[in-house]
Structure 1
Amino acid sequence: MPAYHNAIAPLHRFVFILASLLVAAVPAAAQEHSSIVVTMDHARILKLDRPVQQVIVGNSDIADVTVADPKTVVLTGKSYGSTNLVILAKNGDAVVDREIVVSSTRANTVRVYRQSGQSIERTVLSCAASCEKRSSNGN
């Protein structure tokens, strides 16, 4: 029995090390391809490893990006929905190529819809202690 144990022990160690490496690699890969979630009318700062040359947003009605400095961009959610963000380095390599999802803040808000002829007007009220009309480009 000890001879069997000695022959199997290296295999068990190899499987354990391989499994550990795979578990460590999965979160990094998932993070690289996950969506960037931004709340409407809020900003999110993205710090980059390399200087930015060009920033491209698929639909600027949904999100806006401002270059704060060569390695920092500010992403602002403008309207509900999803689009994509591509950030290029000076050599043309994609530093970032990810989906942006802009979601709404539903906590402490009330939406009022009014129909006037063929159009529908939407008003968003922020309700902390009392409800007040919320200023928003994405109303």
Structure 2
Amino acid sequence: MVHVRNRSIRSYALTTVLTLAAVLSVAPATQADTGIHIVMNQARILKLARPADTVVVGDPEIADAVVKDSRTVVLTGKGFGITNIVIIDADGAAIVDDQVMVSRSVANTTRVYRRAYVQTLSCTPYCETAQKTEAEKASDSQIGGAN
């Protein structure tokens, strides 16, 4: 009887551990996982399920959309930040209604900090001063940087 009881406890413990592991391994969807992520100064092709009639970008200084054809939109990151894109069909139904997050590519870059002055270097393969976009220049002027 003791052996049967120990097996039962072991079986229960193993089942509990496996169930807990399965529950914890499923990552919950977070807000950071949603939306369209674009690297600044790069484009992304959006293939649509049905033909688009209207394309609207919330803040055209952050992202720009160009309609290649009725089912293809090219989205380009222009400045840092979050905006949205809404694509509507001829019947007025939304095909796409997503946030667009534009960020800097950190691959092959180095930042040099000298007090309030920040210099970004593009290292591909030799480090050179990275070109500043209008959004970066505006950000620098807002924080008083003389970059």
Query: If the TM-score is normalised by the length of the shorter chain, which range does it land in?
Result: 0.5 to 0.7
Aligned: 1:129 with 2:115:
no
Decide whether the 8 Å contact of 1:41 with 1:136 is kept in 2. no
Distance 2:114 2:60 in 1: 27
Q: How many residues align?
A: 105
1:41 paired residue number: 41
Aligned positions of 1:67-86 closer than 5 A = 67-86=67-86
In terms of fraction of residues, the more strand-rich structure is 1
- SS of the aligned residue for 1:129 comes to coil
The amino acid across from 1:56 in the alignment is: V
The amino acid across from 1:73 in the alignment is: V
% identity of equivalent residues: 46
Distance 1:135 1:100 in 2: 23
RMSD: 2.7
Distance 1:59 1:132 in 2: 30
Gap regions ≥5 residues in structure 2: 1-29, 137-147
Aligned: 1:93 with 2:123:
no
Give the TM-score normalised by structure 2: 0.61
Give the TM-score normalised by structure 1: 0.64
- SS of the aligned residue for 1:135 comes to coil
